[in-house]
Amino acid sequence: MEALLEKTGAANLFFRATSSSEAERSKPDPDIVQVALRKADCRPSAAIMLGDTPYDVEAARKAGVRIVALRSGGWSDDELGGAIAIYDGPESLLSEYDRSPVGRLGP
């Protein structure tokens, strides 16, 4: 994960991270989402998750977290159903950032 964040130039935007080694069960179980919420000291209602699979959508919803889906995982909009918004990929989300659910979060 660190290498990916460095490559995208986004490493400085994340101060905490989780990995599958911190969860007992994998997605679609919400374990990893709940670990991330605890580490961030964040209520589910105050968080938005980004994901690109139906397993991400299901895990977020089970944890009570809103999710923005990206089509970059190769899944259809129907398969990503349940997301509060769906974008083609990271570039699409960034181009619409201010109007997106992520951009409207505020500080």
- What is d(CA 63, CA 45) in angstroms, rounded to the nearest whole number? 10
Joined tokens for residue 89 = 């990929």
The dihedral over CA atoms of 25, 26, 28, 33, expressed in degrees to the nearest 10, equals: 90
The whole-number pLDDT of residue 4 equals: 59
pLDDT of residue 61: 97
Is the pTM higher than 0.75? yes
CATH topology for the 20-99 domain: Rossmann fold (3.40.50)
Residue 105's pLDDT is what? 75
Distance CA 107, CA 30 (A): 25
